[in-house]
Amino acid sequence: MTNKTKKTAEDWSITLTKISISLLFIASTILIFLGPWIVNLIIVFPSPLVQGEVRFWILLLLGYALGGLALTCIVHLYRLLHHIGQDQVSFNKMFNISDIWAGKLELLLLSHFSWD
């Protein structure tokens, strides 16, 4: 946070976003622990591809893989917000604004003169 004595609107926004991400992390963790119960709810519907216990384990393992990926993304997003709040991330240094506008202009010209 930029000023320790008085919070700005940006600081409040970062704090609220961190709270939201923390709640999302908790909800995702709960869903991962409820994985077998959720798969049992879904498995009652027929599938033309895979049946039985193989289908259960495919759904469960893919759910765990996606859940792990989601938790990893949530943690990295939280860490990024923390660094932004500490003024350790400077977007002006990361991106040259003229390069961004040049890239947009290039995409516009390419889409206009496409050879489809």
Question: What predicted TM-score, i.e. pTM, was given to this entire model?
Answer: 0.67
Q: Cα–Cα distance between 18 and 37 in angstroms, integer?
A: 29
Least Cα distance to 85 among 31, 34, 5, 12 occurs for 12
* 61's tokens: 């393992």
pLDDT at 1: 47
Do 40 and 63 meet the contact criterion of CB atoms below 8 Å apart?
no
| Residues written for the chain | 116
State pLDDT tens for residues 77-97: 999 998 888 887 766 666 655
